[in-house]
Amino acid sequence: MDYKFLDKVVDMIVRETRMDHEDERLYTPFTSPIPPPSSFSPVQALSYFRGSFTTHCNVVYGLNIQEIEYVWNEYREIVIDKINNG
């Protein structure tokens, strides 16, 4: 795996993710504009959006399943840290 490229993909997706802390909403480049049900926290929303994330990484970046798994884990860790630390 080309980790340098995959880390760039992670950085790009993180930059394209918007967190609305006030309304507890998470907006990503791989989901529709409709946010998840309001009963979900932004951290729970990440799991809700997993299928869309996989499709996005495959279509936009041409990643295989192993590469997507790496990108998902890195992305999820960074976003959860940003959510928890404002």
37: part of which helix (H) or strand (E)? none
| pLDDT score recorded for residue 13 | 96
Is it the case that residue 37 has pLDDT exceeding 60? no
Joined together, the tokens standing for residue 74 give 């890195």
Each domain of the chain, given as residue ranges in start order, spans 3-85
pLDDT-derived band of residue 27, with 50, 70 and 90 as boundaries?
confident
Bridge partners (DSSP) of residue 26 are 19
Is it the case that residue 59 has pLDDT exceeding 60? yes
Joined together, the tokens standing for residue 56 give 């996005």
What is the rounded CA–CA span in Å between residue 45 and residue 23? 13
What is the rounded CA–CA span in Å between residue 35 and residue 84? 19
Asked if residues 17 and 29 have their Cβ atoms less than 8 Å apart, the reply is yes
